[in-house]
A and B are shown apart, each in its own frame.
Chain A
Amino acid sequence: EAEVAQSPRYKITEKSQAVAFWCDPISGHATLYWYRQILGQGPELLVQFQDESVVDDSQLPKDRFSAERLKGVDSTLKIQPAELGDSAMYLCASSPVGQLDSPLHFGNGTRLTVT
């Protein structure tokens, strides 16, 4: 079964540094999501793409976070500068809009620790 690929798996960075996460969705999936999950809580949607266009970034802290999906395939989420409160799991998901079997396919995330 095809999977959503994310890298790195773990990232430790110091506060005020820049950090980037990469996601490669399942081939053919037009919709891509970035979620942030703080330990003990459910995933929180940060940004949603439809192909290369941002559909919803209302919950993305735009002063420090940016996301792009230039060719409508893979995506990068960046944080600059990182803050202690950004420590969390960053999850990427993709979906084949219009299909009924499985709305969201998640990767295994990048665990970020900011020190």
Chain B
Amino acid sequence: AQTVTQSQPEMSVQEAETVTLSCTYDTSESDYYLFWYKQPPSRQMILVIRQEAYKQQNATENRFSVNFQKAAKSFSLKISDSQLGDAAMYFCAYADGGSQGNLIFGKGTKLSVKP
């Protein structure tokens, strides 16, 4: 069974600095998708970024980028120029490329941003 591991329960970053959140996953599939979701205190689940496993190029969305290392099964999220509004829980999620494509979530990393 696929698993997703986020080894950092909590992280802290200074405003305007850069922080990297770690995620590793375990799968025997070659076709899959990876996601980062943000959950602010408002409890909404907001998609941050998406990566297709067959693409070597790392996905980017403005200040958010990923370091996707397929062989190492690693999918870290880098947040540049951190802002107070980035403070949230961040969840890494995996979906296999089969017919179901159900998401498997990590346990999350709580990010604090210091002014």
Are chains A and B native binding partners rather than an unrelated pairing?
no
Using a CB–CB cutoff of 8 Å, the interface residues on chain A facing chain B are none
